[in-house]
Amino acid sequence: MTAMPAGCSRYVRLSPDEFRARLPEALDIYVRAMRYPAGTAEQRAPMWLTHALREGWRCMAALDADDVLLGVAYGYRGRAGQWWHEQVRHGLSRRAGAAEADRWLSDYFELTEIHVRPENQGHQIGEDLLRSLLEGVPNANVLLSTPEGTSRAWKLYRRTGFVDVLRDYHFAGDPRPFAILGRPLPLDPR
């Protein structure tokens, strides 16, 4: 990693227990960064805890000098039978064919969440979290979903080599269009 971004003191890998202990902080960042209604955190908490039990799960946190969470990123090995996997396989198979779905989904790490406090965005924390999270991941590809539209997240993903896998996709139960982005691993050096 390069020099520490403004406000960030260190990056640490969180164990599932440490993640559980910081879940309220992480969900607060998620709700604020995504501009979701306050009740969203209560709905997401059980799902995030379940994710921490999945094969290959890993989590990185950005902390300030007072040990306050500035950002969090986590993911795990994607597999058939997982909700996101099945949603993406369905959409990609319909639009690009089963062979393209297999190419992306046969061996991938799902970058499930990456969020930085809004007041700390734009200071390299997101990219540092992304790079440290994906360092040493043994999967062939990394995939993620992000709402369509210009954002700092989009700029980060493009800057780090993510390409379009599936655009304007609607997940079941969400009216917003999403993009599925991916790239081979490992990431290119800075």
Contact call for residues 123 and 64 (beta carbons, < 8 A): no
Tokens, residue 38: 């306050």
Q: Cβ-count burial of 23 within 10 angstroms (0-12 exposed, 13-18 middle, 19+ buried)?
A: middle
Contact call for residues 79 and 55 (beta carbons, < 8 A): yes
Of residues 11, 74, 108, 157, which has the active-site annotation?
Answer: 157
Clarify whether 36 is annotated catalytic.
no
Catalytic annotation, residues:
157
